[in-house]
Amino acid sequence: MFCDLVGSTAISARLDPEDLSSVLSAFQKACVSAVSAFGGSIAKYMGDGALVYFGYPEAHEDDAERAVRAGLALLDTIAAMRLSLPVRPQVRVGIATGLVVVGELIGEGGRARAGCRRRYTEFGGKDSGRCVPDSVVVAELTRRLAGVAFDYEDLGPHEFKGIPDAVRLWRVTGESGTRGRFDSRTAKGLTPWSQAEEISLLQRRWDYAKEGDGQLILLSAPAGFGKSRMTEAFREHLGDSSITYLKYLGSPFHVNSPFYPFIKQLEWAPGIVRSDTGARKLDKLESILEGSAEMKVQAAPLLATLLSIPFGERYPPCRLTS
């Protein structure tokens, strides 16, 4: 992944060297925060840009998805940044997937973590140049590896110096409607579930619950053993569309956010998406609130705060008491 500040030359002409240093420092801190949260590592800073590796020194099964999420998180962090300077930093991100040769770079000594084949290093940097400000652009292989976790805009094929074939680029427009890793990885369909004994046990517990005897079931097993598949199979087994089904999902990318499952559910319920304006998000949130107008006035600011939606132009500040 390569990310850089947009219009850094123009910014440098407007600011004193000390102020420019503050902008670059804030950008680099934002990069570290976004990248480290998703398991990436900063390979090196190059002026107003940063080269980032995913899959080294620690590899994950979903490094392409992690890179895209880190890019989107960086955009959000930069957009929320408020500097005491007459500039609003913008960033662009390009992501490419390719072979990497691990080892020290000549002349860099122990500071170098890895050396990419120049083809992919240069592609990553030039890829970001095809981005409009505040956008993430990915190559075809990255898009395929990231699965259907995101929505994309096809930018068509592009020529790059040193790369013989045209490269198809895609702009990430935001997360898709899939809910969690299980949904995104099974978008093409599920295999049949044949574990009748487990379904029978769940059915008995469901019957007890319908009779007023509350039930709680804990499914515990290592990753990949079919916990999510079992719950989906039981849901299909019930075959009753009148049943209210609530799904709260944790995320390995948000382990430091205890309310993350509830935040995502509140975003999914009214259809809030990343590209919505603050006012549009607030409209959607209000659409799912029930009760009197007075209750909505009390609830909307609280939930908007949880979802990081600005509401100051519509509601008074929250007045919380201990």
Give the mean model confidence (pLDDT) for residues 266-280: 87
- Per-residue tokens: 153: 């805009």
pLDDT of residue 118: 40
Q: What residue segments make up the domains of the chain, in order of their start?
A: 2-176, 182-238, 247-322
Q: Among 12-16, 73-77, 277-281, 285-289, which is the least confidently predicted range?
A: 12-16
pLDDT greater than 70 at residue 232: yes
Q: Which of 64-68, 210-214, 231-235 has the lowest mean pLDDT?
A: 231-235
Fold of 2-176: Alpha-Beta Plaits (3.30.70)
Give the highest mean pLDDT range of 8-12, 209-213, 314-318: 209-213
Q: Which residues of 135-157 are buried (b: 16+ CB within 10 A; e: fewer)?
A: bbbbbeebbebbbbbbbbeebee
pLDDT tens track for 87-143: 788 899 999 998 766 655 444 443 434 334 343 444 444 444 456 788 999 999 999
- Mean of the pLDDT values across residues 3-31? 87
Instruction: Please state the rounded mean pLDDT for residues 66-82.
Output: 90
The C-alpha atoms of residue 273 and residue 270 are separated, in whole angstroms, by 9
Encode pLDDT of 154-169 as tens digits: 998 888 777 777 888 9
**How high is the mean pLDDT of the chain?**
81
State the DSSP string of 268-322.
HTTT--TTS-HHHHHHHHHHT--S-HHHHHHHHHHHHHHTT---TTTSPPP----
pLDDT in tens, 289-314: 988 888 888 889 999 999 989 898 88
188 class by beta-carbon count within 10 Å (0-12 exposed, 13-18 middle, 19+ buried): exposed
pLDDT score of 109: 42
Residue 314 C-beta-side C-alpha neighbours within 13 Å: 19
Residue type (1 letter), 243: I
Average pLDDT over residues 66-73: 94
Q: Report the alpha-carbon distance of residue 119 to residue 165 in Å, rounded.
A: 12
* Tokens 């093409």, residue located: 188
| pTM assigned to the model | 0.68
Question: In the structure, what pLDDT confidence band is assigned to residue 186 with cuts at 50, 70 and 90?
Answer: low
Question: How far from 142 is each of 42, 170, 201, 213, CA to CA, in Å?
Answer: 19, 9, 41, 49
